Every structure is written in C-alpha cells, then in structure tokens.
A and B are shown apart, each in its own frame.
Chain A
C-alpha cells in the first residue's frame, strides 16, 4: 500500500498542468485510496461511512447475478436456435465463452464511450469525475439486445451521456434515467434493428464457431424448424396467454430460459438483487412495492375488461399475476425506477411515482399495438413527471404548516 501511495504521489505533480490528466489522475487516485480529507470543524465532526462510490458500487454488485446469467443465456439461446446443447449444462463452457464474446465488447464500448465523455466534461468543468456512470455503464449492456451493432451502442451511450446528463449538469442533475435514454435512443433511431421478434437471439459470429472448432456442428445447419425467437410478450400480444404457453413454460420465464435483453431474463437473479438493494437501503422499497401494486391493479382491471368484452385484445386476458414474470418488469423495477436522481425526491412522492409507473407501464405493454413492452417508456414518462409530483408534496407540506399556524 505504501509503495502504491508513493508512486501516486510521484505522478501527481506531472498531471497538475493538464486539466484532463489531472481529472483522470484524481479519478484513479480516489478510486484506489479513500481520500484523507477530514471534516472542517464547523459542522459535523464525523461522517457516515457511506459515500457515493460505495452507493453506486452496491448497485453494481446487486447486478452481478443478472450479468452472469446474461452471459450464460446469450450462449444458451444461441445454441438453442440451432438445436444444439439443449440441456442447461450441456456445452456450458461454449455457452459462457460465446456469451462473453458477445457481451464483453458491449461492456467495453459502453465504458470507453461513457467514461471518456464523463472525464472530458469533468476536466472542462474542473470537477471531480462523479460516480453515476458506474451504474449506468453496467445497466446499459444489460438492457440492450445481445446482437446490437457496436456502433449503434456507442452512439446511444454518447447521446445519453451528453444530452440527458451533461447538458443538465452531470450526476445528480439529470431529469431522465441515463441507461433508459440510451435504450430509447436505439429504439427510436433504429427501430428496424431492435423491434423485430428475433433480434433477441444472436445468430451471427460464425467466426466464433471457427474459433471454438464448432464449425462441424453448425456447418450447413440453419435455424431449427419452428424456432421463432419471439419473446413471450410478442406472443402474448398476438395470441394471449395461450400463445405464450405453447412456446414457453412459466418456469422457463421465471428462470430466464427465454430470449431477450441480456440482464432482464432471470427472475431469481433479479430478486436476489432486489433483496440486496432493500436490505442495504440503497434502493427505495417504497418505489418497488408501489410499482408492483400499480402493475397488479392495472392487470386486474384489464382482466376484468377482457372478461366483460368477449372480443377484446387477447393480451388483456393474460392473468394479471403473470405480468410480474413477463418481460423486463422486475428488472426495470429494481434498477431503473429506483434511480434516486430521476425518481421523485420526497418520500410521499415515491409511492405515487412507483404506482404510476406500474399503471402506465401496463398500459403501454398491453394496449400498445406496436411495441409490447412498457417499462422503458413508462419510467421515462414518469421521470418527467417526478418534479411535478414532488411539487404537490411540497405544496401539501407548506399548506399543512400554514393551516397549523392558523389553528
């Protein structure tokens, strides 16, 4: 430790002149060593052990199971499309290697682009690099389709960081969730590349097959008969719950053995993350709980509508509790809605905010003919409304105070 510290102290003067170097040095120094600054002596003399770095890294840790499963599932779905290694543990090494080859470039590109922009802006502003991108940088790879071209990814990350974050003043100031902004950029800028039924399984990368020596296995093979690659939500939109269960079992949807975005499939992995976020107090349980309530209530109403109107859209009739394990609901609830910067800031507001995401997300998921998933749009929508909800909570507090003084 002493050696490392001495080396850092040696480098420090070299970086003093160039603002970018200085910012970069500062970021790495504070990453390696918690600073030795002490309280000023005018306010509190001791501080809580928690800082922003630890907060952010807690979220990243809570994401690790999703990440690990995502790596496995990319490979698993890929080979399943060729009818290979259909057992979970069959060819496990190949699946993991394949997943890593797909996902690592995504993670690297996200961080290089995102952190590069963050460092640049921080040095321009003369600020320290803030930790917000630690989480965004891990979330973005997990919510993208696995075979997204890397240049689209780079563009979407750049858009999200510059327009949604730095334009507003950096970490803590942004109005919209960064990761979702990146996702929504891809969605609206390249709709044909992201909204098809089958983009969720990666077919390409034949070069990888060569590398693994799997040529013989896949050579001449095309996708197996009857393989559609459609996600359960796409199926539900067309044929309701029946169509879903023809292709996927509830257990498959729960454990994540289905195609989809990298991190959102395996529900137990997400639930483990949720437990960690709630126990540590990093994620707001109020938002999560009210969001579940919003989803169930809306789903229940839809079920009622479906039974009252015989020729209603089949999606309406999907039993409301199954919505919990379909699509990206749980992932969005755990990691997207609870983003403290873009959620409401008042505790009362959090209940309203979460519930409304649940309602709006269900409306988009079920009623929208074009795009059968709602959480991205619902959360961004409510991000925009969060300050308004806070405004009403603040006004209510002011009114209570006024009323009390007149009483």
Chain B
C-alpha cells in the first residue's frame, strides 16, 4: 500500500462535465472495431457474415497470429454491416441489437478451485481476454506470459472522464469476482489505485486480496502507466498487465453468472452536449444513440475517449473497445485575427501568458484548433511540468526521432504509452505530435523484441 502524491501535471477544465444522472440506453446498433487493438493484423479472420444472428458472447473474429484470442459480440442481434477501410482493413463489425438481449450460455467456473490454465482458457474462449493489455506497448496481453503484476487504475481524471467512484458503486460482487480471476493470472499482486482526493467507492475500499494505493495529483496521475512507475516500475524484459475497472466487472460476470455481459456506464460530455450525463449501456454503443436529441451544434467533433487520447469518430460510428466516455467538442477550423497575440476567446494553457491562470477552476469552451503552427522543438521545461515521472520526455522523443534504440530503452520507453505523455502533446508550443512519435518508437521496440 502506497500513498503517492504527485505534483506535476495539468487539469484541463472543459465545459460540459457529465452530471451524475444516469439514463439506460439501448443503442440501435453496437460495434466492435479491430483497429482499437494495437498489434493485431488489420484484416482479422472473420467468423460471421452480414446477416448472421449472434448472441452476446458469440465470437466475431480473431487475429490470425493469435487464433486463441476470440473477440466476441457485446450484444445479441443481427450483423448488419462489416465496414471496410483502406486496403480492405476491417473498420467496424456492426450489430443491430435485438429488442431483448440473449446471452450465449457460458460454463460457470468456480474461481477458487480453478487452475491458472483453466482460467486462461476460459477467458480466451469467452472473449474477455482482449480486456487485458500488456505493458510495455499497450498491446493485448500474451496468454503465454505470466505478468509480474496486474495494475488497475481505479479512477480517471482526464478531461470529462467518468467518475469511477460513482460508476463502480454497488458492483462489489462482480468486481471482487473479477479480482479473484486476475489474482490467478499473475505471480505477483493485483494493484488497485484509488483517487486520494475523494472517498473511494465501497466497491474499491472493501475489495479483498488487492494492494490498494492512493494516488493524488493533477492529470495524468490517473494514468495507469504513471502509477506503475511509482509502484513497481517496468524494467527491460518485464511484463505487467493493465485492465479498466469496468472491464473487471465483465470478467467477474463471466465467471459469476456465465454471461458475457458488458453493461457499463458511459459518460457523455463536452461543450456541445445539451445535457452531459451518464448512460448505462453496453460496449460499443453508437454515437447517434448516445447523442440523440442532446447536441447543441452540428460543427462538432465526436471523440471516442477523452480529448487527449481519444479517437476521432464519425456520427455513424461507435464507441471504442477501451473507451468509457464520449466527448463532443467544437471543430475549430476558423481563422482568428492576431489570435496568437490577442486571443478572442479564453483557452486553456499551462503557461501563464493567458489570464486564465488566475482562475484555475474556470471551465473552457475548447475547440480543436491547433492554436499555432508546427515548429521545431524550441521551448524546454513544459513537458517536464506535466510528466510526474522520473522520465525525460523530450530526450526520449528525440531518441525516437533519431531511431536510437539503446537510448530509447535507457530513457524508459518501456514505462510509457501514449496516454502517459498525452499532456506533453497538449502543452507543446511547437505543436509536436508526441503520441504519434511515441507510438512509432514503441512499434520500433516491439519489432526488435
């Protein structure tokens, strides 16, 4: 148990924070998107065709390199569309949901008496394996490997993120069952970090068999990579796994109730959402249903996930596999006279060259404008201010740009993924694509290993 207090970081306050009101939402369609997973081939092997009826938990596709890891349907219904992207890569597998959900009956398993092998096999077969992600690289966990530890970040303080203490309330049994499963998988411990600034949900506080840590500080303190760095950093050759708390619940339900039940809370927020709130729905809900009659403009960007790390999606697409929030903000494609000198509207900034720093709790109506052009890296110090780790972000990036593998390794590339350094990209005055560079570096290292 550690009590971690982080100072560096930056909280961006955006208008349209989701209020703690929950509506149950039955999305018309749901989808699973293969490109949500790093490291799987762009054309996985499909197990269904358009027109097929599926139950929740029926397999949809698998990666040809890892045929054991099944990706399954989150809801029951008819496969209505298989979207193809560039070079016939599979975009989305879309399911038109039934009125009444039916689950594929799964074998129920007593976790306490099951062996690790049985648990792994069951997880692979039931489709809950892809929830586990491996550090380094943030790819789907390798079933052949036993991780050093498993880490769960029990909160999220990214802009407009769901409040997990609220979301997890009353889910104690499923969560505990999920934890029991995870404990089978690792030779080390299952670490859960809760927000040191609020009273954790009972689901967390009363969970057994975990290492509970409190972490406080501005974003990115909720990023699991930052927490790992302070709890038990990843060295070369080591592997740890991570999983989102809402996905732990799915795991628990599979073993407890024998159903692949992805029910979850999705936070919908942003500047152009009329009524920012939570929806109780299933994995892969459609943007159309999440925003129906709830938008205050049409020149907007839909982001699956948060504004720092999420994916831009179209209104007819669906929320990503690992995303628990939908952010809707204005597209900022307009000129601004002397915008660099005399901004015509307030905007968030780490620097104190705007008056906003005098009122830190002010909420901003942000948009997607880059607020400047791309330049060579000139300023120093800003990245470090938002990186609460013993990592030199700018030097790491320069090592990646120069393809210096040894230096990347030495400077800790195994310890970070995009979300951990996303704020560096936000604050960068030279508008560098930090996350893109980092992903290139991670892929380079993965190819080498």
Contacts and interface: CB of A to CB of B under 8 A. Distances in A.
Contact of B353 (A36, A43, A282): A282
A46 interface: yes
B412 interface: yes
B303 A37 contact: no
Interface in A290-312: none
A10 B395 CA distance: 43
Interface residues of A, number: 62
Interface of B: 12, 14, 233, 235-236, 238, 301, 303, 307-312, 327, 329, 331-341, 343, 347-354, 366-373, 375-381, 384, 390-392, 394-395, 407, 410-412, 418, 422, 425-431, 433-436
A40 B307 contact: no
A172 B238 CA distance: 37
A50 interface: yes
B338 A48 contact: no
A390 B233 CA distance: 24
What is the predominant secondary structure among interface residues of chain B facing chain A?
loop
Given A44-B309, A52-B430, 12 more contacts: A4-B337, A33-B339, A34-B369, A42-B436, A45-B310, A45-B368, A47-B431, A50-B351, A54-B372, A58-B353, A390-B395, A397-B412
Contacts of B332: 36, 38
B310 to A, nearest CB: 7
B335 A404 contact: no
Contacts of B301: 38, 41, 45
Given A40-B433, A48-B429, A54 B340 contact: yes
Interface stretch (A184-192, A194-202, A230-238, A342-350): A342-350
B334 to A, nearest CB: 5
A39 B368 contact: yes
B235 A405 contact: yes
Given A43-B435, A172-B376, A397-B390, A48 B411 contact: no
26 contacts: A32-B337, A36-B335, A38-B331, A38-B333, A38-B369, A39-B369, A39-B370, A40-B433, A43-B425, A47-B372, A48-B347, A48-B371, A48-B428, A49-B371, A50-B351, A52-B430, A53-B341, A57-B341, A58-B353, A172-B376, A173-B376, A344-B380, A346-B392, A394-B411, A401-B410, A401-B412
Contacts of B350: 48, 50, 281
A36 B311 contact: no
A35 B353 CA distance: 19
A49 B430 contact: no
A394 B436 contact: no
A17 B353 CA distance: 38
A279 interface: yes
Interface of A: 1, 4-5, 30, 32-55, 57-58, 128, 130-132, 169-173, 279-282, 284, 340-341, 343-347, 350, 390, 393-394, 397-398, 400-402, 404-405
Contacts of A40: 433
A404 B433 CA distance: 30
A53 B430 CA distance: 10
Nearest to B236: A405
Contact of A280 (B327, B351, B427): B351
B333 A282 contact: no
Given A5-B335, A397-B390, A282 B369 contact: no
B431 A43 contact: no
Contacts of A58: 353
8 nearest CB pairs, A to B: A51-B372, A34-B339, A405-B235, A41-B312, A172-B376, A398-B410, A49-B347, A53-B340
Given A36-B333, A43-B425, A49-B347, A347 B381 contact: yes
A46 B303 CA distance: 11
Nearest to A407: B235
Contacts of B366: 46
B51 to A, nearest CB: 32
A341 B395 CA distance: 14
A52 B348 contact: no
B343 A49 contact: yes
A282 B379 CA distance: 9
Given A45-B301, A394-B411, A172 B394 contact: no
A120 B354 CA distance: 33
B352 A279 contact: yes
Nearest to B332: A38
Contacts of B351: 48-50, 55, 280-282
Given A33-B339, A47-B431, A52-B378, A345 B394 contact: yes
Most chain B beta carbons < 10 A, residue from A5, A340, A344:
A340
Given A341-B378, A397-B390, A51 B340 contact: yes
Nearest to B394: A345
Contacts of A43: 418, 422, 425, 433-436
Contacts of B341: 53-54, 57
A33 B379 contact: no
Most chain B beta carbons < 10 A, residue from A44, A57, A343:
A44
A172 B398 CA distance: 13
A45 B307 contact: yes
A50 B392 contact: no
A398 B332 CA distance: 41
Contacts of B418: 43
Contacts of B371: 34, 47-51
Contacts of B309: 44
A6 B381 CA distance: 39
Nearest to A173: B376
A39 B348 CA distance: 15
B177 to A, nearest CB: 34
A171 B378 contact: yes
Contacts of B12: 46
A55 B431 CA distance: 13
Contacts of B376: 130, 169-173
B352 A280 contact: yes
A400 B389 CA distance: 13
A346 B395 contact: yes
A128 to B, nearest CB: 6
Contacts of B428: 47-48
A340 B407 CA distance: 23
A46 B380 contact: no
Given A48-B351, A345-B395, A284 B381 contact: yes
A43 B306 CA distance: 11
A49 B364 CA distance: 12
Contacts of B435: 42-44
A38 B336 CA distance: 13
Contacts of A55: 351, 353, 378-379, 429
B335 A34 contact: yes
Given A30-B373, A37-B369, A343 B429 contact: no
Nearest to A395: B410
A280 B381 CA distance: 13
A107 to B, nearest CB: 19
A34 B372 contact: yes
Contacts of B369: 34, 36-39, 47
Most chain B beta carbons < 10 A, residue from A38, A279, A280:
A38
Nearest to B14: A46
Contacts of A53: 340-341, 372
Given A44-B307, A50-B353, A52-B430, A340 B378 contact: yes
A275 to B, nearest CB: 12
B426 A47 contact: yes
A344 B381 CA distance: 10
Contacts of A41: 301, 311-312
B426 A36 contact: no
Contacts of A171: 375-376, 378
Contacts of B425: 43-44
